[in-house]
C-alpha cells in the first residue's frame, strides 16, 4: 500500500492507504477527523468540502495520494485558539443549520467564497452554493449567515 503524507490543520500527518482511497476517507478513517461528511457518491452534495492548498475542494473527488504534500484544512481546523471562525459563529447566530450534516461542507464553502468574492450579495451567494445541498434549512438562513459573516470579515479587514 502506498503511503501518503500531508499537512492537515497545521499538523504533519502520514498514513498507509490503498491507491483508491479518497481523501475524505483518509481524513475520516485514518485521521478520525469525522467533521468532514460523505453525503453522496456523485460529487454533488458538498458535505465533504475541505480546503486543499487554500482552495475549496470536494474531498470525495480527490484521491488521498493526490493530496501528497498538500496543506489541508478541515472544519476542525477553523477554530483558532478556541475562538470560532466568524463563519462558524454566523451559522450559529443566524440558525444556518438544523441537523448539522451539511454544515461543515457549507462552512468550508462559505469561507472560500468570502475569500474569493469581496462583495457578496444574496444572489451571488445562492449561485455560489450550487455545489452544496442542504435538506433541512431551505437555505434561507445559510444565505443570511454567509452574508453576515462576509460583512463582518470585511469590516475586520478594513
Choose the contact partner of 48 out of ligand FES, another protein, none; CB within 5 to 8 A by kind.
ligand FES
Rg of the chain on CA atoms, in Å: 15
Number of residues forming the site for ligand FES (CB under 6 A): 22
Choose the contact partner of 58 out of ligand FES, another protein, none; CB within 5 to 8 A by kind.
ligand FES
With CB under 6 A as the contact rule, the residue among 9, 73, 88, 137 that binds ligand FES is 137
With CB under 6 A as the contact rule, the residue among 8, 97, 107, 120 that binds ligand FES is 97
With CB under 8 A as the contact rule, the residue among 10, 54, 118, 138 that binds another protein is 138
Between 102 and 148, CB nearer to ligand FES = 102
- Determine the Cα–Cα distance for residues 61 and 43; give it in Å rounded to an integer: 6
Q: Restricting to residues 1-30, which ones interact with ligand FES according to CB under 6 A? A: none
Q: Does residue 38 bind ligand FES (CB under 6 A)?
A: yes
Q: Does residue 77 bind ligand FES (CB under 6 A)?
A: no
- Determine the Cα–Cα distance for residues 15 and 8; give it in Å rounded to an integer: 12
At 112, list the grid cell: 472560500
- Check residue 34 and report its DSSP letter: T
Q: Does residue 111 bind another protein (CB under 8 A)?
A: no
| Phi-psi sector, 13: left (phi>0), alpha (psi -120 to 50), beta | beta
The pair phi, psi for residue 56, each rounded to 5°, is: -70, 130
Whether 59 and 99 have beta carbons less than 8 Å apart is answered as no
Q: Restricting to residues 42-61, which ones interact with ligand FES according to CB under 6 A? A: 43-48, 58, 60
Neighbour tally for 69: CB within 10 Å: 9
Q: Does residue 20 bind another protein (CB under 8 A)?
A: yes
Q: Does residue 98 bind ligand FES (CB under 6 A)?
A: yes
- Determine the Cα–Cα distance for residues 146 and 30; give it in Å rounded to an integer: 31
Amino acid at each position: 500500500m502506498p503511503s501518503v503524507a500531508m499537512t492537515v490543520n497545521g499538523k504533519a500527518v502520514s498514513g498507509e492507504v490503498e491507491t483508491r482511497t479518497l481523501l475524505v476517507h483518509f481524513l475520516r478513517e485514518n485521521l478520525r477527523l469525522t467533521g468532514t461528511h460523505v453525503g453522496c457518491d456523485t460529487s454533488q452534495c458538498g458535505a465533504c468540502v475541505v480546503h486543499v492548498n487554500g482552495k475549496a475542494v470536494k474531498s470525495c473527488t480527490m484521491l488521498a495520494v493526490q493530496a501528497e504534500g498538500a496543506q489541508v484544512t478541515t472544519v476542525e481546523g477553523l477554530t483558532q485558539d478556541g475562538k470560532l471562525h466568524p463563519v462558524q459563529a454566523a451559522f450559529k447566530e443566524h440558525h444556518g443549520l438544523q441537523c448539522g450534516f451539511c454544515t461543515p461542507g457549507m462552512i468550508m464553502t462559505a469561507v472560500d467564497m468570502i475569500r474569493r468574492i469581496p462583495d457578496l450579495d444574496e444572489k451571488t451567494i445562492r449561485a455560489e452554493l450550487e455545489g452544496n445541498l442542504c435538506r433541512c434549512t431551505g437555505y434561507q438562513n445559510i444565505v443570511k449567515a454567509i452574508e453576515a459573516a462576509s460583512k463582518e470579515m470585511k469590516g475586520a479587514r478594513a
